[in-house]
Chain A
Amino acid sequence: MAFISIFKNRTGIEKEIDSFLNLASESGLIFIQGIGAYLGNDIDSFSEHLSHVVETEKEADTLRRSIEDLLYRKTLIPESRGDVLELIERMDALLGRFKGVMFRVEIERPNINPQFHSGLKSLSNCVIEAVESATLSLRSYFKDISQATDHIHKVSFWETEADKASTSLQKAIFNNNELGLDSKMQLRDLVRSIDKIADHAEDLADTLAIYVIKRSL
């Protein structure tokens, strides 16, 4: 009987992990739309996106708990269980970071000079590309391990691009003579917090790279 329940739960957990990764991808898209709305001075739309990202993160949290519960209670994939749990938790933390940045914008309501808009959009794009590649690499880890390395490589690429965008944006902020030091520091912190998301995506990818080697047949 124990076997039958294990096999039933296997299908359930596959779906849950797929849904969880879908939410991770979705969060990135909501984030970039939210930032776009804020830069376009559409505060209502920004607030909507913020509530959407909060809901997505909450849903992802519930799924994560359910995945953890199933993995441990039903003793599935015993040799990779710890690895999978760590990866899921790290991915969940990434989702939390999207929410964190949007809350920061909501609380601080920074005044962003139009000259920084394109740089900020470009940085946000690099960040969501890095997260998207991390999501794809995680999907491959479950479904087609031979593809995982390709996606891991892309995460590194987008993280480097995000670093470049972040550096040039910070330079532009501090070279602007119209802004006071307080505004410069506020914008710098915002830029850094967005860039940090890509850093964390890369950390996840690095961990995943080791697990891919461990699991390779």
Chain B
Amino acid sequence: MVEHYRPKNLTEALEWMAERKLIPVAGGTDLMIRARNWQGASRAMKGDVVYIQHLEELKFITETETDYHIGAGVTQAQFYDCKLLPDYAREVVGQMATPAIRNAATIGGNIVNAASVADLLPLLYAADAQIVLKSRDGQRVLPIQSFEIGKYMTARREDELMFEVILPKLKIKKYLYKKMGQRRSSILSKVSFLAIEVEGGTRIAIGAVNDTVVRSKELEKRINEGGGVKSVLDGYKALLNGSDDKRSTKRYRERVVINLLMKWMEEKR
């Protein structure tokens, strides 16, 4: 029998999570599908559940001089509608899922679920975002690369909840975002490609191909120094190790990535 916990506030949620193993459920747009069952039957949750969608402490978007702070409980619709946030970031979120799903799905859910196709992740990798985790005993701040450790795997401990993502403010000179899918809406990406041009040069993050997002500072440096196109493309090719699956083929994904890289480098020259 699965137990259901609905905390009054964040403190209570963290107390409970320190004492027992609980699965956090926010918008439910992924977990409710994975717990699918017959009409009317109990959802097949894989363990005891703690509901967090209603926690006001996780719903905020603020800014400092250097960063945006986005609470884990902010929905994709709220993120997209927030004019405070930069266009390149809002565009990524605006292409996720569908209007009704964006009303339910949270930023934290997309990050902590850690699907290899999560469209927020290339954005967070490119921006060098940080993830703040809270537990009863304190908090930890991890760079996104250290947080996302594999397909559906993060560095979150069982007693921790994601509190917020810290998105550094960047002076974006130019960006290219391309979400490739079978259709434009409500689709899992074949490739989720983001290139941005900031003061320090180009940053490129490639999602939905490998288990985690591909980002190489070494290859970015090569692009910024005007290195040969072929050596850059070969460098990225060597990093891609996706496989054929129901979304696409390895060959198609690589072709798309190479084409987008060439387009980006051509426009940059």
Q: Do A and B come from one complex?
A: no
- Chain A residues in the interface with B (C-beta under 8 A): none
Q: Could you tell me which B residues sit within 8 Å of A by CB distance?
A: none
